[in-house]
Every structure is written in structure tokens, then in C-alpha cells.
Amino acid sequence: MGNFWHGYALPTAITVAEILAIVLPLLLAIAYLTYAERKVLAASQLRKGPNVVGPFGLLQPIADGLKLLLKETVVPSGANRAVFIAAPMLTFSLALVAWAVIPFDAGVVVANINVGILYLFAISSLSVYGIIMAGWASNSRYAFLGALRSAAQMVSYEVSIGFVLVTVLLCAGSLNLTDIVTAQSRLWLGFIPGWFVIPLLPMFVVFFVSALAETNRPPFDMPEDEATLVAGYFVEYSAMSFGLFFLGEYGNMILMSAMTSILFLGGWLSPIPLEPFTWIPGPFWFAAKTAFVLFCFLWVRATFPRFRYDQLMRLGWKVFLPLSLFWLVLTAGVLTAFGWVPSH
């Protein structure tokens, strides 16, 4: 009995507690990201935004969630019922599973695996399947064509994201996300944080814009436009099945913002490596940087008009792909020429 408790039950209980400690705050953050987006857009457009349901409208996300839960889930008569229901569940699950390798502070991570960056890249690639499944299972030409367009968009920008990740790995010398943050703890000129955003600024821009396209966010929200009358691959979805796509999109936004802060902005490291800033816990800095990148997501939505689909694909294949490949070769050349290749 003792072996069972210490060998299986206790480690399992600890793992479940760690997962809940991440998933529950993440679900709350997803809910209130919708509130924050509406407030940022309202401020950009000189209006009020949610301000009626609860103080300052803070209960609006709860009301929206209850509305989706209480609605009837309608499955089209010609749809493949099993795949139709599984698609939003897959999309939302992948948005949560990726957080297993995200470090919130030194040693504060569910799974500190040595190939964490590959794990994240694999999970983000699988999200295409949820979209294809939704479009195909709906038995609708609009949904299927929207799914193909969205899948082509995501695959196109994943190529650029892959080259950006390899460039960061060259500078850090590790596939482990904790090691990538630790590699940015050095100081340049004695006071400038050694974040990768400084030497890899073009890659930071490529990664951020590709993250917008990867998460189908404006100005690359082609699936939501689709001639402005139908909503692309999830046009046939309603109630909580639509809500899972909605939550998956916002969950991916938070995930990509967290990845941006880890890869380029020093993760949990203090932006000013001096007291009293170093007294502040690392998770606070990590959350603050993630929130800043999220604000940039919302800021872009309020600022830029939507791209045409041909402009979107041209940017991905004719601009970002050559630029990221060139910067990868340049980074490798500079590291080798000056003997800066990191070694562990």
C-alpha cells in the first residue's frame, strides 16, 4: 500500500494539482481577455464598451459564457456528428495542452522537458486538424472552403515561425524553454538586458505578425470574413460548440504571447536587473510581458484594416520566408565567425 501511495497516487495527485493550478487561472484569463479586448477597442473608438453587467461590466464575460452554455447545440442534419462535435473539443484541448512546458519562473513548470520548443511547435501544428475537421464535418461548401483557406494560412506562417524558432535556438544553444530564458539573463554594456529581441529584432517582428496570422487574428482574420456573410469553417456551429472555438482562439492568443515573452523578452526576468525590481517575483514579470504582447494583439485589431487573401499569402511566402531564412543563415554565420556559439 505504501508503494502504491508514494509511487503512483501521490505523484499523480501532485501532477493533477499542478495542471489545475495552470488551467483554472488560464480559463479565467481567457474569459477576461474578451472583456479586455472589448474595452481596448472601445477606448480606440471613443466609446464605453461593457459597463452594465456588474461593476464596470466585469461580469460580462460570465454572462456571455452562461448564454453559450444555456443555448441549444444544433448539429446540421447532413453533418458527420462525431467529427462535428470532436473538432471544437480538439481545438480547445490543444490550446490547453501546450501550457505543460511553459515555465512561469525558474523551476515552475509542469514538464521541464529538454525539447519543449519542439513540443510547442508540434502542438501548434496540430491545431490545423481541428479546423479541417470542422469544415469537412459540417457538410457545407462555405465551411469547407473556409477551412481550406484557414489551413493554408496557418501552414504558410508556421514555416516562418519554424525558422524564427531555429534562430532563437542557435542563440540559446538549447531546446529547453527554461534554458532559453536563462540565456537572456546576461547584461550588455553592464545595464542593457540581454533579451533576444535586441539582436533578433526582425525575427521578433516576423514572429509577432506570424502569430497574428497563426491565430486568425486581425488583420489576418480571413476565416471570420468570408465575404462578410458567413464565418468560415465554424459557420454551422452554435452554442458551446462555437464557444469552444472562441475559447481556443483566445487561448492560443495567450499562448503565443507567452511564447513571445519567453523567446524574445526574457520570460520571468526583470526588465531592470537592479533592486528593488529584482525583488518582484518572476511570475509577475512573466504575466506583465504576456499582457503587454496581448495588448499589442488588440491594438493591431483596432488599427489596421483586413488584408486581402492574396496579400496575406504573398507576405508569408515572398517576404517572411526569405527574410527568416536569411536571418537564420546570418545569425549562424555571426555566431560561428566570432566564436559566440553557446555550449552546454
- Confidence (pLDDT) at 226: 54
Q: Which residues pair with 108 in a beta bridge?
A: 105
Q: What percent of the chain has pLDDT over 90?
A: 41
Mean residue pLDDT across the chain: 87
pTM, to two decimals: 0.92
- Confidence (pLDDT) at 324: 94
- Confidence (pLDDT) at 344: 59
- Confidence (pLDDT) at 115: 87
How does pLDDT run across 192-237, given as a tens digit for each residue?
788 999 889 999 999 999 999 888 888 888 766 655 556 678 888 8
Answer whether 195's CB lies under 8 Å from 273's CB. no
Overall average pLDDT of the 184-197 stretch = 82
Which residue is associated with the grid cell 501521490? 10
Highest mean pLDDT among 1-10, 233-242, 323-332: 323-332
- Confidence (pLDDT) at 227: 53
How does pLDDT run across 78-101, given as a tens digit for each residue?
888 899 999 999 999 998 999 999
Highest mean pLDDT among 3-12, 119-128, 143-152, 312-321: 312-321
- Confidence (pLDDT) at 109: 87
Nearest Cα neighbor of 162 from 339, 327, 281 is 327
Nearest Cα neighbor of 180 from 171, 188, 191 is 171
User: 3-state secondary structure string, the chain?
Assistant: CHHHHHHHHHHHHHHHHHHHHHHHHHHHHHHHHHHHHHHHHHHHCCCCCCCCCCHHHCCHHHHHHHHHHHCCCCCCCCCCHHHHHHHHHHHHHHHHHHHHHCCCECCECCCCCCCHHHHHHHHHHHHHHHHHHHHHHCCCHHHHHHHHHHHHHHHHHHHHHHHHHHHHHHHHCCCCHHHHHHCCCCEECCCEECCCCCCCHHHHHHHHHHHHHHCCCCCCCHHHHHHHCCCHHHCCCCHHHHHHHHHHHHHHHHHHHHHHHHHHCCCCCCCCCCCCHHHCCHHHHHHHHHHHHHHHHHHHHHHCCCCCHHHHHHHHHHHHHHHHHHHHHHHHHHHHHCCCCCCC
pLDDT band at 275 (very low <50, low <70, confident <90, very high): confident
